[in-house]
Structure 1
C-alpha cells in the first residue's frame, strides 16, 4: 500500500516534472545536435568558399604577373627599338657632319694652296722682274715663243 501510495504521489507530483525535464533535455540535445550539424555544414561551405577564393586569387595573381611580364617585355623591346633608331639617326647625323666638315677642310686647303701659289708666283715674278736685264730676256723669250707658234 505504501508503495502504491508512493507511486501515486510521485506520479501526480514528480512524474510530470521529471518527464517534462527529460523531454526538455531531449529536445535541447536534438537542437544542439542539429545546430552542430548546421555548423559543420556551414564550416564545410566556408572551407569550400575559402579554397575557391584562394584558387581565384592565385589565378588572378598569375594573370597579373603574366601581364606585368608582357608589359615589361614590350617596354624593353620598345626602348631597344627607340635606342636603335636614335643611334642610327645620330650616326647618320655624325657622318653628314663629318662629310660636310671634310668638304669644308678640303675647300679651305684648296684656298690656302691657291693663295700660297699666288704668293709664290708673285715672289717669283717680282724676283724675275726686279732686274732690268732679266725683264728684257723674259720679253725676248716670250716674243720668241709667239713667233714660233
Structure 2
C-alpha cells in the first residue's frame, strides 16, 4: 500500500527534484526550444507568404497567358480572314484573266474562221466561175457549130431584150 499512499518524504524529494529539473530545463532547454519554435514559425510564415506570392504570380501569369492566347487567336483569325480575302481575290483575278483570254482567243478564232470562210468562198466562186465559163464555152461552141441554131439564139435574145 505504500505506493498508493506515498510518504511525505517521497513527495518532498519528488517535488524538489521536479523543481530542479524544471529550473535546469528552463535555464538551458526552454530557450533553445522556444527559439527553434519561433524560427520554425517564422520560416512557416515566410514559406506561406512566398507561397501566397507565388500563387498571386501564377494567377498574374495565367491571366497574362490567357490574354496573350486570346490576342493570338484574334491575330490568327485576322490572318486567316486576310488569307481568305487574298485567295478569293486571286481566284477572281485568275477567272477574270481566263475569261478575257478565252474571249480574246474565241474572237481571234472567229476572225480566223471568217477569213478562212471568205477565202474558201472566193475559191469556190472562182471555181464556179471557171466551170461556168467552161460550160458556157462548150455550149456556145456546140451552138455555134450550126448556123441555124445561132440564128434562133439571136432571135430569142432579141425577143427577150425587147420584152424587158
Q: TM-score, normalised by structure 1?
A: 0.82
Determine the C-alpha separation between the residues in 2 that align with 1:94 and 1:83. 16
1:41 aligned onto 2:41: no
User: Residue in 1 aligned with 2:113?
Assistant: 98
Q: Please list, as runs of the form range in 1=range in 2, the aligned pairs for 1:5-84 lying within 5 A after superposition.
A: 5-84=20-99
- Measured in 2, the distance between the counterparts of 1:22 and 1:94 equals 104
- Where in structure 2 are the equivalents of 1:123-134 lying within 5 Å? 123-131=138-146, 133=147
5+ residue gaps, structure 2, are 1-14, 159-164
- Supply the distance in 2 between the matched residues of 1:121 and 1:44 (Cα, whole angstroms): 112
Q: How does 1:137-148 map to 2 (within 5 A)?
A: none
In structure 1, runs of 5+ residues without a counterpart are: none
| CA deviation after TM superposition for structure 1 residue 129, in Å | 4.0
Aligned to 1:116: 131
- What is the distance in 2 between the residues matched to 1:43 and 1:69? 38
CA distance in 2 between partners of 1:19 and 1:117 (Å): 141
Match of 2:8 in 1: none
Q: CA deviation at 1:125?
A: 2.8
Q: What TM-score do the two structures reach when normalised by structure 2?
A: 0.75
- Higher alpha-carbon Rg: 2
Cα-to-partner distance string for 1:32-60 (whole Å, 9 max, x where unaligned):
11111111111111111110111111111
